[in-house]
Structure 1
Amino acid sequence: MNIFIATTDEEIAACYPVMRELRPHLTATAFVPRIRQLMAVGYQLVALVDHDEIVAVAGFRIGENLAWERFLYVDDLVTRAERRSNGYGAILLNWLKDFAAKAHCHQLHLDSGTWRKDAHRFYEREGMQLSSFHFTCDIHP
């Protein structure tokens, strides 16, 4: 098993099939340019490889605010559907926690859709707690 931060266009593109499972609105042609755009503002894409196959990916960023001080925010975390329940998500989440500690973060945060009950059980099993509600509204400029 190997975990790496995708930095080249080829590495980023190789993450697309897994990310598409979480973000089906993304297209293969727009994926690399979109990730590059996000990287310009601190986003990083990490992949977990097992037997020469990317089986899980996560997108994250380091941030700071008054409420949480320095934190690692997980934008995206997904394991290939057919490879779930093999511990890959836990391995990648632990890698993110270690990365956060090395980056002097005080907390790790993520949001999860209210309908994703299996994901919620996974996060709680991995020591995370439900700590707030996240509210949204669409803005039409």
Structure 2
Amino acid sequence: MVEIKELKIEKEWKEAFPVMKQLRTHLNEDQFVELVKEAVEKESYKIAALYDNEKIVAATGFMPMITLYNGKFIWVCDLVTDSESRSKGYGEALLNYVHSWSKENGYDIVSLSSGLQRTNAHRFYENKMNYDKVSYVFLKRI
């Protein structure tokens, strides 16, 4: 049985970590939990997980934002499917969950960024999910 559930407590975040670690390889579990806790408290960050037979096989992190270029919108911070469970529609189901959550909560734009090397993900966002490529994201470490 497949279900999507919002993860609200530390125990659930830890259960999602092995999947999220595949995207956020630089984090250990403690760092992950601390960042999630702070983002939930300060930024209204949410994590939703897709369970297949009671096992987390995909996860997404998203949060509301306001910018002058998008106005009010939802930013998808993280979207990952376990490497052994890809191409089963889990990413699509999670993004559709985010789209539904967004509509229900008064947001009509969902935006995300994706690493330049992730060409399969780019095809997925553009061809399957109908996202438009509208910008590059730049980063400078200070």
Same-fold call, TM cutoff 0.5: yes
Query: Does structure 1 residue 130 correspond to structure 2 residue 133?
Result: yes
Name stretches of at least 5 consecutive residues in structure 2 with no aligned partner.
none
TM-score (norm 1): 0.94
Query: Which one of 116, 119, 123 corresponds to residue 118 of structure 2?
Result: 116
Identity percentage over the alignment? 35
Aligned length: 139
Name stretches of at least 5 consecutive residues in structure 1 with no aligned partner.
none
Alignment check: 8 A CA contact 1:45 1:58 kept: yes
What residue in structure 1 maps to residue 97 of structure 2? 95
Deviating above 6 A after TM superposition, structure 1's stretches of 4 or more consecutive aligned residues are none
Whole-Å separation in 1 of the counterparts to 2:32 and 2:116: 26
**Letter of the 2:66 counterpart:** E
**Letter of the 1:91 counterpart:** A
Alignment check: 8 A CA contact 1:6 1:44 kept: yes
What residue in structure 2 maps to residue 27 of structure 1? 28
TM-score (norm 2): 0.94
Which secondary structure does the structure 1 equivalent of 2:84 belong to? helix
Whole-Å separation in 2 of the counterparts to 1:98 and 1:60: 13
Whole-Å separation in 1 of the counterparts to 2:9 and 2:41: 14
Instruction: Output the aligned Cα RMSD.
Output: 1.0
Q: CA deviation at 1:134?
A: 1.4
